Amino acid sequence: QAIQSINGHTNMSAEEFTNMIFQKIDVNNDGELTLEEFINGVESDEDLMELITKSFDLSNVLKVIQTG
C-alpha cells in the first residue's frame, strides 16, 4: 500500500488489487498462485504487466528516502 501510495496508485485497496490479480491469472481457480501461474499470467496480459510495474516501481520510494 505504501509503494502504491507514493506512486499515486491509490484508487484500489490492497485487497482489491490482490483479488483482481487472482481473477486474471489463477487459471485453476484454487485460490493460490504458483510462481509459474503468476509469471505466465503477467507475461500474457499487457495491462496487468503495466499495472504491476507501476505499482511496484521503487524509484519514487528511493527519491523520498534520498530527499527526506
Give the pLDDT confidence of 5-22 residue by residue, as tens digits.
655 666 777 788 788 888
Q: Per CATH, which fold does 12-65 belong to?
A: Recoverin; domain 1 (1.10.238)
Predicted confidence (pLDDT) per residue in 36-59, tens digit: 998 999 899 998 888 777 777 778
Domain ranges of the chain: 12-65
Angle at 68 between CA 9 and CA 63, to 5 degrees: 50
Report whether pLDDT(61) > 80: no
